[in-house]
Amino acid sequence: MSMNKVLAAVDATDGGRKALELAISVTENNPDAVIDLVYVVPIPLLDDSQMTSFRSILEMMMNDGKSLLERLVDAHEDATDRLNPLLITGTNPATEIVKLIDRGDYDLVVIGNRGLSGMKEYMGSVSHKVLHGSSVPVLIAK
């Protein structure tokens, strides 16, 4: 199976870094392959008055996300021209990633695993939710 378009969902954890490295690895035989590198800035559900006071914090979180994506792209100079960084926001990162999958015509999704186990993994794992919500194959980097 040729990997032409891959979504690598990343965060600031070691699992996020491994997900990008794995996405680069599975596409290395196709120089035309594109890797969308997505980071989701999680925002809480807030009413208008709360959102006004949260706005400066959100701006800081967006800047942190942009910086993370820039560092990841810069760390992989050999693949820079194939990496397409995407910064999105949402109340639930897994839901936002699944929505992106549905719109993106991807061949594969690669996402990191933070190593949660037991009930924490079942209830809170973004990778678990993406795995079960995705319409395309998902590769979880450990």
First-to-last C-alpha distance (Å) of the chain: 22
Cα–Cα distances (Å) from 30 to 88, 90, 93, in that order, read 27, 32, 29
| pTM (2 d.p.) | 0.87
Mean pLDDT of 86-111: 95
Rounded to 10 degrees, the C-alpha dihedral 127/61/104/33 comes to: -90
Decide if pLDDT at 12 tops 80: yes
Query: DSSP assignment of 55-88, as one string?
Result: HHHHHHHHHHHHHHHHHHHHTTGGGGGGEEEEEE
Phi, psi for residue 137 in degrees, rounded to 5: -60, 145
Is 7's pLDDT higher than 90? yes
